[in-house]
Structure 1
């Protein structure tokens, strides 16, 4: 579910680009955009425990596990937290 800009897929948020360039974790902002929603919506989902991927809180930082994000992008199914009960990424 990469973000679309002007009708073309944004390569920055494609699974291929993410797997080639991200380390073990990525920002909530970038993961949210890859899933098709805004930064604000991403943080709202993190706070409510409904972000569709595994999220790590490290001190004051919140990071998204890259492998989890890739599985969600490829399958279209949320895999972590309360996401399975009804939170689906939108375009």
Structure 2
């Protein structure tokens, strides 16, 4: 996260804040306390300048 945030031009704290709000410009994977940036998404954002936000949060499905 620190390197990705720096590459995108903001601080690590701002990066985590954006992830928490679902507004980070790249797709991220969260597992417990771990946050990983999807490399292909980061490359897409850096090349195109277009955000590829995590607008949709993972839905919890209940067994039917």
Shorter-chain TM-score range: 0.7 to 0.9
Paired position in structure 2 for 1:33: 6
1:60 Cα deviation after fit: 1.8
Q: Matches of 2:11 and 2:33 in 1, distance apart?
A: 21
RMSD between superposed Cα atoms in Å: 0.9
1:79 has 2:59 as partner: no
Unaligned 5+ segments in structure 1 are 1-27, 83-91
Unaligned 5+ segments in structure 2 are 56-64
Give the total of aligned pairs.
55
Question: More strand by proportion, 1 or 2?
Answer: 1
Runs of 4 or more above 4 Å deviation: none
TM (norm. structure 2) is 0.79
> Which structure's CA Rg is the greater one?
2
Query: 1:46 aligns to what SS in structure 2?
Result: helix
TM (norm. structure 1) is 0.57
